[in-house]
Chains A and B, each alone.
Chain A
């Protein structure tokens, strides 16, 4: 049996799953000050003493890290950066407590300038004297050669300091994002450690002694004790939980669009052959672009409670929420009021909904039901159009080989999964608009079962994910695994196939080490390229680049319950 818990901003949901079927579900109010209370309350009804020995896996998703960043409840971080030639330090220096140090590595991973250890020692002493105990160490091209980061770790890494090394965060190249990711990882780490302690308390209190997993932004799970090195990966796991829940219950291999329609916003995700798309580099949080692997989602300011106004004689929905629906005592009419007028929903005071629409109806010379219909349709139209625009942007992503440019597969959605409060009311209208106004043929709306606990379900079923980036340089005879920071010697005749195999082995090892639930991870090679290294018109070696991943997916197939 699997237990999934989603600690959301408002509610904490729990689901208990047996053989792919939801057998119990619960929803309680989240107690932000005392997380343990929420966990205990949500599991009180789902897990009793008899069930505990049967539990095989527990997965949590939490908004804790996200909220800490959004509300700026983060700690002070000292950053040691070796930025080398390129962008000027001034354009990177958007962080307090940053020191730039001499020392550089180039694109081949070769040391171009020695690290200035004296300056590093001075910086470490300065941070210590200011009481800064969280240190981020980031080098340009450190994923190609992490030696300078290791050297700096030795210099600052006494027992009282908590240190994050940039190359551990991701194998992708992007120095500014690597800095942002490392910074955030350290900034939320104290808070996250407390959370991890609460979870440990919880399992202790419940007498549970199986590993607990945490949902990451990419919709994959990570074991709790491992997650403390990468707290930043747990941000945005709320939207990830919703997408994974939709995926699990939709149980389809079709290209699809997923819509989570809430009160204030609608979150859009895209599925290619049933699998949600990931951000190419990483998610953006509070304007900071990061290397945190995450699901590719877009949030638009339209939901059931969006304020409806007239602007230049046109109905405008959102992007703000100005309180609840008029029928529930709000000041502005909302799409929910339109649905109440149309008889699609029954909450609140229908008369208040009617009166809220009257000024708009009068201006447009329409009667109230006509006006309600226009508002309702416009809301659905805006959502459909934003979803298709998002899809279009994804289809226009650049390609760097002739083959990729000529064979680019277009995503053609066949399903529109709709979850969230107004899902049932809006899904048919969105489907109609896709077909009649946006010419998307063969497309139908679908409301996944158990969607009210989709988040907890998504967390419960998420499998462990990971990514490995390998670079074999046969001229230097070095194989570098970026995320591990490991560099091993290879023979000059090391091939692309050898690199792929090394990458697979490494990833398999990594996944099995952290997830005993999996039999055999489904490894996918996402990038494999081989280039000649030529010196004076002679080939002197190969530069081989391989990236492998385990995609987000469900650990067991979900069955109707």
Chain B
């Protein structure tokens, strides 16, 4: 534990001290106040290998590469979302340009519950800042294989939804079991769309999982999968609500656990997600992550009330985690044989979704249809109706799109009946084209 090789680490710190969902909402102004205090008091920004950067402000085109916003991006995002997504983009640019070895976008508001279609805010998120960043990377630095390891305590359902059909984006989510926590999804059998089986991985963890459980998951599941997937870039959706003091969850992770997890995972880019124990956890967990990313000694980072005996993981929890990892690994090993069985002779596969936007109180009914394709992720058609009144149709071409999917997708957009929907969208991730009518 402790000192690794020193790395050049970029830090994009944007606490948005003037933005809240509401005055006592967990996602409020002072969420990163004491984290800022800790970063400043420890003098982290004075280290020669830690570089602080100002976030850039993302533009609506950046949002339109990752989302179908209804009625349009302008209506669902605010300056704060553009800055936090921009912060993630800055992190990516600094890493991909080689200016730093890795980077941490310590920004808010978060984004991992925002799905492909956005009618409003859910799980405190409007836009998925990781997805906006990933699509920015692909449009500026070419098509990359990307892995997102989401260690937030809540299932990263937004990121999963956006990349459900993308075989080149591996989304691994480690989270508290959906039967015990929002958003209630993310089970082992959620394994990706028919053209991207195995590119979605979920490991639901029982309540009271501690450092040990997370580190086992990293060692036995995440790292071996990354070895096989061979991503160009590894992103950590670094939510910090697994902490033992978090008011919204039931886990037992400590600052030492976070730092060690980060050191083992060694992500190229980390992006802050949730984490609402603003006084007792965040100052220490964030400090631990920054030190771990920079290859500095984090062995003395601990909460003032840290008591390892109280945070020990129960053997029953350890057993459940072990069994679940085995189960996921069996699915993974079998992933290439599953398609035939699942698809049969179908040319298209439908997915019906009922989505609830808890933050904005909107209900959405959605049918997603993907073309079965062996050459790319397949073009996707979406029909969606929301209780807020909008009915839309969208066509999405994947960022690596085969000619057949392109031809069918373009035809589908051209033939869509304007009278039937309020809005019709066309998102071509490969060519960076976004159209609506």
Interface residues of A (CB under 8 A from B): 84-91, 104, 106-108, 112-113, 140-141, 172-177, 289, 396-403, 405-406, 529, 531-534, 536-539, 543
Tell me whether B24 and A534 are in contact (CB under 8 A): yes
* Bound CA–CA A447/B307 (angstroms): 65
Chain B residues whose CB sits within 8 angstroms of the CB of A539 once the complex forms: 23-24
User: Other CB < 8 Å A-B pairs besides A86-B42, A405-B57, A543-B30, 13 of them?
Assistant: A85-B303, A85-B304, A85-B306, A86-B41, A91-B296, A175-B41, A398-B52, A402-B18, A405-B55, A406-B57, A406-B79, A531-B17, A537-B24
* Bound CA–CA A309/B420 (angstroms): 76
Q: How far is the CB of B279 from chain A (nearest CB, A)?
A: 7
User: Which residue in B13, B36, B41, B297 is a CB contact (below 8 Å) of A141?
Assistant: B41
Q: How far is the CB of B129 from chain A (nearest CB, A)?
A: 15
Q: How far is the CB of A496 from chain B (nearest CB, A)?
A: 13
Decide: A89 near B300, CB < 8 A? Known: A173-B40, A405-B55, A537-B24: yes
Tell me whether A107 and B46 are in contact (CB under 8 A): no
* Bound CA–CA A275/B36 (angstroms): 28
Chain A residues whose CB sits within 8 angstroms of the CB of B41 once the complex forms: 86, 107, 140-141, 173-175
Chain A residues whose CB sits within 8 angstroms of the CB of B43 once the complex forms: 87, 174-177, 289
Tell me whether A289 and B297 are in contact (CB under 8 A): no
Interface size on B, residues (CB 8 A): 48
When C-beta atoms are compared, the residue in chain A nearest to B35 turns out to be A107
User: Which residue in B17, B38, B55 is a CB contact (below 8 Å) of A529?
Assistant: B17
B residues 277-334 in Cβ contact with A at 8 Å? 279, 283-284, 287, 291, 296-297, 299-306
Chain A residues whose CB sits within 8 angstroms of the CB of B291 once the complex forms: 87
B residues 24-65 in Cβ contact with A at 8 Å? 24, 26, 28-30, 33-34, 36-38, 40-43, 46, 52-55, 57
Chain A residues whose CB sits within 8 angstroms of the CB of B247 once the complex forms: 536-537
Chain A residues whose CB sits within 8 angstroms of the CB of B303 once the complex forms: 85
Chain A residues whose CB sits within 8 angstroms of the CB of B28 once the complex forms: 532, 534
Chain A residues whose CB sits within 8 angstroms of the CB of B38 once the complex forms: 86, 107
When C-beta atoms are compared, the residue in chain A nearest to B278 turns out to be A534
When C-beta atoms are compared, the residue in chain B nearest to A143 turns out to be B41
Tell me whether A531 and B33 are in contact (CB under 8 A): yes
Q: How far is the CB of B11 from chain A (nearest CB, A)?
A: 9
Tell me whether A531 and B279 are in contact (CB under 8 A): no
Interface residues of B (CB under 8 A from A): 2, 13-19, 23-24, 26, 28-30, 33-34, 36-38, 40-43, 46, 52-55, 57, 79-80, 83, 247, 279, 283-284, 287, 291, 296-297, 299-306
When C-beta atoms are compared, the residue in chain B nearest to A406 turns out to be B79
Chain B residues whose CB sits within 8 angstroms of the CB of A174 once the complex forms: 40-41, 43, 46
When C-beta atoms are compared, the residue in chain B nearest to A141 turns out to be B41
Tell me whether B52 and A86 are in contact (CB under 8 A): no
Chain A residues whose CB sits within 8 angstroms of the CB of B29 once the complex forms: 531-532
Chain B residues whose CB sits within 8 angstroms of the CB of A400 once the complex forms: 13-17, 36
Tell me whether B57 and A87 are in contact (CB under 8 A): no
Chain A residues whose CB sits within 8 angstroms of the CB of B296 once the complex forms: 87, 91
Q: How far is the CB of B359 from chain A (nearest CB, A)?
A: 15
Tell me whether B46 and A88 are in contact (CB under 8 A): no
* Bound CA–CA A87/B19 (angstroms): 30
Tell me whether B284 and A85 are in contact (CB under 8 A): yes
Tell me whether A401 and B17 are in contact (CB under 8 A): yes
Tell me whether A87 and B300 are in contact (CB under 8 A): yes
Chain A residues whose CB sits within 8 angstroms of the CB of B40 once the complex forms: 172-174
Chain B residues whose CB sits within 8 angstroms of the CB of A86 once the complex forms: 38, 41-42, 284, 287, 300-301
Q: How far is the CB of B244 from chain A (nearest CB, A)?
A: 15
When C-beta atoms are compared, the residue in chain A nearest to B2 turns out to be A88
Chain B residues whose CB sits within 8 angstroms of the CB of A536 once the complex forms: 247
* Subset of 9 A-B contacts with CB under 8 Å: A85-B300, A108-B34, A174-B46, A396-B54, A398-B52, A402-B16, A405-B14, A537-B247, A538-B24
Q: How far is the CB of B87 from chain A (nearest CB, A)?
A: 10
* Bound CA–CA A533/B30 (angstroms): 8
* Bound CA–CA A118/B190 (angstroms): 59
Chain A residues whose CB sits within 8 angstroms of the CB of B299 once the complex forms: 88
Q: How far is the CB of A277 from chain B (nearest CB, A)?
A: 17
* Bound CA–CA A175/B287 (angstroms): 14
